[in-house]
Amino acid sequence: MGSKEKRDKRLQEISLLRTIPYSDHQRWWSSETVAVVTGANRGIGFEIVRQLAEHGLTVILTSRVSSAGMEAANVLQESGLSVAFHQLDVLESTSINEFAEWVKQNYGGIDILVNNAGVNYNLGSGNSVEHAKMVMATNYFGTKNVTKAMIPMMRPSAAGSRIVNLSSRHGRLNGKRNRIEDETLRQQLSDLETLSEALIDNMVSTFLEQVEDGTWTEGGWPETQTDYSLSKLAVNAYTRLMAKILSERPEGEKIYVNCYCPGKVKSAMTAWAGSISAEDGADTGVWLALLPDQAITGKFFAERRELSF
């Protein structure tokens, strides 16, 4: 069986898994459980909102553009789903702070955060300064800043709160393709003892400086989809770091953090060039958000299977 046949078979299995309901003893959530999904007016984000709401949760759909987000939320509300909307631009600290305050006033807190908002790789050639900055600002810094704002909003519970970060196989630290050449940096990023927010930030800043002065091709960065790959590597590293920090909380206050690759989904973000439906692309994110096994944290998944970083 070829790789395409194996992938198609696996996706068929995922489609089947989506139709199997959780048993009563697995359901730790209720209609009072509140989930936030960023960048959710279309594509994977919209599907994550829909699937979480269909499982009976209350879901806050966010979007940078208010009109698009309100329209998306209305579609789901008309289907009888418990979905609310609030504007959120992950690039703007004011927007993030206003959203956090609105959540606090209207819901008291949240139980699940899905960081879906993101920018794809440049479909043209090379890494323009403008695009590289936008990719890093959205995919990494946006994810990080929203996470920091939402952690104080996450409510204590026996099941623990959940954070799910959208990532990509392109960001795998030791993958055969698109990996950084600096062995020392790879080792520092892979070792939880040396991994730090400052290390991740410095990697991103160094890359952006080299893009700006035109020396990035000599920096040993991933050869293709460089800015996107590096932004997702940063997301993966930040996921592991936060999982470690938040796992040290006492029982009842723990927050479980994981990331996943949805695959190349056929959506506007991929210029409709993908081969995976948005429904299947959303599945692993929903599965991680609702996972009954509280011990899983700091992991990277695709198609409900754990992958190495």
So which residues are the catalytic ones? 228
**What are the distances in angstroms from CA 260 to CA 182, 219, 232, 285, 298?**
24, 27, 10, 7, 11
Beta carbons within 8 Å of 292's beta carbon, 6+ residues apart: 22, 26, 28, 159
Q: Please, which residues bridge with residue 237 across strands?
A: none
Q: Which two tokens stand for residue 82?
A: 């418990």
Taking alpha carbons only, the member of 83, 242, 85, 256 closest to residue 160 is 256
3-state class (DSSP) for residue 58: strand
Q: Where are the beta strands (DSSP E) in 105-173?
A: 112-115, 161-166
CA 38 to chain centre: 9
Sign of the alpha-carbon torsion through 83, 232, 274, 68: positive
Answer yes or no: are the C-beta atoms of 64 and 34 closer than 8 Å.
no
Answer yes or no: are the C-beta atoms of 140 and 234 closer than 8 Å.
yes
Answer yes or no: are the C-beta atoms of 50 and 26 closer than 8 Å.
no
**What are the distances in angstroms from CA 195 to CA 59, 130, 240?**
33, 28, 9
Task: Give dist(CA 101, CA 197) in Å, integer.
Answer: 25
Alpha helices in the chain (DSSP H): 3-18, 43-54, 66-78, 93-107, 129-135, 143-150, 183-190, 197-213, 226-247, 278-290
